[in-house]
Amino acid sequence: MSDRQKSCAERVRDERDSFVEWMKELVERMDSDDEDVREEAMQELYEAPLSIEVEHRIRVVFSTGGPHTEVEVDPGRGTYTFRLMDWWDGATAPLDDEEAQRAINALLLDDPEYFVELHTEAYADGR
């Protein structure tokens, strides 16, 4: 067994898949008939990010350092990217899972269609 740690490029898909499973579980709870379960899921989602940054793209940062994980949303392109960075290494993978995208959209605004529309227009206008 090697003592070498896996690079971010080697780990990014596993990390992304773990993230997607968490998002799916949150979405399942957000869709619950039990109001308390829904509220707990939304509270967990709202408390998870360390920051949400809008720069013609939106970065939702879930952890920093050892490793740093974030999701980048580009409203102009309609893309979602999972990013894993660990010290001097980093890698990205497309975040194509619709439920994970839905959870990110719910986090950004209760009306994700309005959010994407608003920021797509801002992106097109160069704001």
Segments making up each domain of the chain, as ranges = 8-125
Enter the tokens of residue 78.
């309609």
How many other β-carbons are positioned within 10 Å of the β-carbon of residue 38? 14
* pLDDT digit string (tens) for the chain, length 127 residues: 455 678 888 899 999 999 999 999 999 999 999 999 999 999 999 999 999 887 778 888 999 877 899 999 988 788 999 999 988 888 999 999 888 888 888 887 765 565 566 656 655 655 5
How many other β-carbons are positioned within 10 Å of the β-carbon of residue 30? 19
Q: For the whole model, what pTM was predicted?
A: 0.58
108 within 8 A of 60, measured Cβ to Cβ? yes
